[in-house]
Each structure stands twice: as C-alpha cells, then as structure tokens.
A and B are shown apart, each in its own frame.
Chain A
Amino acid sequence: SAVISQKPSRDICQRGTSLTIQCQVDSQVTMMFWYRQQPGQSLTLIATANQGSEATYESGFVIDKFPISRPNLTFSTLTVSNMSPEDSSIYLCSAAAQGHGYTFGSGTRLTVV
C-alpha cells in the first residue's frame, strides 16, 4: 500500500495566520483526501483532491478557508487559513491505492492560540 509522509507533525500558530500542511506519497495515486479529527472523535472528511481538477469540498468546508493544491499524482497541500482556536485539531491526509485500501499520513496536530 502507499506510504504517506506528512509534515509538519505539529505546530502552534497564532490566530489569524495560515498554516500549510504537505503530504508526499511514495507512489502515484489518483485520489487524495484531507480529514480533520477532533480529540477522541472519528474522522471528518474535508475535501477530495484529484490531480488536474479543483478539490471537492464537503458540507461545512469551503475553499477560502481550506485551499488545497494537487500539482501532481504524488503530492498535495492543505492550507488552514485565517486560523481561530476552533481550528485546533488533527489534520490527516489519505490516499487510495487501488486494491490496497486507503492509507493515512501520520497527521498534523494543530494548536491555535
């Protein structure tokens, strides 16, 4: 299955600033996904990122707040913009490798102060 490197692993940010999270996959994958996980909760899908097209956002998430780039089949970024303390969470990227299920990066633990 695909191996995903995600960085940064954690960050503490000031409110009003932006943070860009990067995910690198060790193989070419068609679909990449971005999730948010609140402490003790399950995963909430933010958006699906396909190479060559705009990301598809889930209800409650908008491009201005969470812009996503997908420049090629092995890389994607998620930016959390104009952060507030409510954005404090774990952010995870995921990729689908055909026949091998969906794998996840190690996550980015974001704290907004």
Chain B
Amino acid sequence: QKEVEQDPGPLSVPEGAIVSLNCTYSNSAFQYFMWYRQYSRKGPELLMYTYSSGNKEDGRFTAQVDKSSKYISLFIRDSQPSDSATYLCAMTAGVSSASKIIFGSGTRLSIRP
C-alpha cells in the first residue's frame, strides 16, 4: 500500500462547477499537508499549506484535513478553464531535514468551457 493515494483521473468538469480533489494516507505522523498545481512543462506551484486538522480557505480554494480519517481534500469553487492542470497532494511529518515530503501521484483536471 502506498503511503499516499490519489486518484489519477483524468477528471473533466464544466466551467463553474465545484471540483473536489482527494487524497488518503496511511502514516498517522503526517501533520503538514500541501496542495500543488502543476501546469504542463512547469514546476509545481504551492496552492495551500495546512497544519493538522481543519479547513483553510484562500479565494476559490478550500483545503480540508481530517486526520482521524487520514483524508484530505481540495475544493475549487467556480472552476475556470485556467484551473485545468495536474493537482498534487503532499504531506510530511515535520519541517526538519529528517522529514521527507510524500507526494500523491497527481490528479489531472480539465475544466470544459
């Protein structure tokens, strides 16, 4: 079993829809959770960074962490064609050099105009 599981998609939704992206994980030591957006031929762009359980909102993006279920989500409201990209979840137990970041495999998202 992988430490982090992420549905690879592809996921295709119409413009304006609410998008839900999810990851599950097995390591209860993970405390820091991140979502990245990666456009083709570009490096990953950090979208959301959360610590422990709870919600965090930034514009059209909301990140949720449920540590009891070992489940994290990224919601995109009012989705736009420019949101079409690959979304990677990532997590780590700490921010020291001994704590590696574990990435999901990425979900390809396409927003249809």
The proximity string for B residues 92-109 relative to A, scoring 1 for CB distances below 8 Å and 0 otherwise, is 000111001101111000
A103 touches B46 (CB 8 A): yes
Chain B nearest CB: distance from A40 CB in Å?
A: 8
B6 to chain A, nearest CB (A): 9
A42–B104 touching, CB < 8 Å: yes
User: Min CB distance, A26 to chain B, in Å?
Assistant: 14
Known: A42-B105, A43-B103, A101-B49. A106 touches B43 (CB 8 A): yes
Nearest residue (CB) in A for B108 is: A40
Query: Do A6 and B43 form a contact, CB below 8 Å, given A31-B97, A45-B100?
Result: yes
Known: A42-B106, A96-B95. Is A102-B42 also a contact (CB below 8 A)?
A: no
B96 CB contacts on chain A under 8 angstroms: 31
Chain B contact residues: helix, strand, loop or mixed: loop
Question: Closest CB-CB distance, B72 to chain A, in whole Å?
Answer: 14
Residue ID in chain A nearest B42 by CB atoms: A106
Q: In the complex, A38 Cα to B97 Cα: how many Å?
A: 24
Query: Do B46 and A1 touch across chains, with their CB atoms under 8 A apart?
Result: yes
CA distance A92 to B45 in the complex (A): 12
Question: Do A45 and B101 form a contact, CB below 8 Å, given A92-B43, A102-B46?
Answer: yes
Is there an interface contact between B103 and A42, defined as CB atoms closer than 8 Å? yes
Q: Does B32 contact A (CB under 8 A)?
A: yes
Closest CB in chain B relative to A31 CB, distance in Å? 5
Cβ contact of A109, chosen from B41, B46, B104, cutoff 8 A: B41
What are the interface flags for A28-43 relative to B under an 8 Å C-beta threshold, 1 for contact and 0 otherwise? 0011010000000111
A sample of 6 more A-B contacts (CB under 8 A), given A43-B44, A48-B97, A101-B46, is A42-B88, A42-B104, A42-B105, A50-B97, A100-B49, A107-B41
B residues near A, CB below 8 A? 32, 34, 36, 41-46, 49, 88, 90, 95-97, 100-101, 103-106
